[in-house]
Amino acid sequence: MIKILVTGGTGYIGSHTVVALQEKGYKVIIADNLSNSNADTIHAIAKITGVKPELEVVDLSCKTACDDLFSRHSDLKAVIHFAAAKAVGESVLQPLFYYENNLCALLNVLQNMARIGCGNIVFSSSCTVYGQPKELPVQETSPRLPATCPYGNTKQIAEDILRDVAKASLLGASPLALSVLALRYFNPIGAHSSALIGELPNGVPNNLMPYITQTAAGLRSCLQVYGNDYNTSDGTPIRDYIHVSDLAEAHLCAMEYLLSGKVKGIDYINLGTGKGYTVLEVIQSFEKMSGIKLNYKIVARREGDIEKIWGNVDKARQILNWQAKREIDEMTLSAWKWQQYISTGLLGK
């Protein structure tokens, strides 16, 4: 059985990807420090797939801990690397933490991949590497503009690290031939159709969808919309929202493409729907699908946010034979069903 390491695998996107992998028969090892996730997620994954993944609670930014993990799992065939802090606003306030956490973890993982001879890595990148693009939709060949926040900058630096390591291996400077797919995805929302896993941030949410669902559930008194003076149809920012299950399936396709041996060095692929929605349009979709009128207010713009972005996703369709299938209403409804499940108190039971 092919063994795959998923770092950050109890997190939002990671858990959905673990489900996709296990449903295809892969053996999954999860490495997660549980800083923004819950160990009970593995029980939910087991309910969905019939297989309980192996969880290693480990901080990958600690070299000793990462070394020990790879020594215990020296037969890995690929790594899908999600583990990173990812809140735009928080990164502006805590840049040193973001640079240490996100980049040290990647360096430790890559050094250990070389040590055990595992040459395939799917990297969780982000559309934030494009900054505020001058032309839309952005393509993989679009210039990477200066990042608008430290989080985005860690993704740019991580891509540069992966590019340089892959190039060195192609030049024969390393005994390991490193193959990399950097997946630049847009804004994941929604939850698994079972409603057993979804986005469950610790503390106050930094992303739009859990803030919406928590407000609807009465856990938050009011939803804050950051700015309505952008150059968009209703003044609120535009994002390319993608259902998390579509995104998980794309990671499965990317890993299998790597294992086929078709990637030499590094390649970059956008993952999104190819169209954008404003914040208010997402709120309107949620209100329509849930039947709940949200209490929200417009507040000042948030430092680090960009005005609008959506992607050209032709390359994913051509290379990975993948495209997003789920529309915005399905995304918002599934997120609400997940929130309702959380409210039952059955999570992890």
Catalytic residues: 151
**Cβ-contact 17, 248 below 8 angstroms:** yes
Q: Please name the residues in contact with 34: beta carbons below 8 A apart, sequence gap of 6 or more.
A: 10, 57
Cα 73 to Cα 116: distance, rounded to the nearest angstrom: 9
3-class secondary structure, 208: helix
Cα 330 to Cα 285: distance, rounded to the nearest angstrom: 9
Alpha helix (H) ranges present in the chain?
Answer: 12-23, 41-49, 63-72, 88-93, 95-116, 150-170, 208-216, 244-259, 279-290, 314-315, 328-343
Q: Please name the residues in contact with 83: beta carbons below 8 A apart, sequence gap of 6 or more.
A: 7, 8, 11, 31, 32, 33, 60, 105
> Which residue in 271, 280, 284 sits closest to 310, CA to CA?
271
**Cβ-contact 265, 166 below 8 angstroms:** yes
Beta bridge partners of 125: 184
| Residue 285: both structure tokens together | 């979709």
- The edge-to-edge listing of strands for the beta sheet with 27-32 is 54-57, 27-32, 3-7, 78-81, 120-126, 179-185, 265-271
| Residue 239: both structure tokens together | 């994002």
In this structure, what DSSP letter does residue 230 have?
A: S
| Residue 39: both structure tokens together | 């160990």
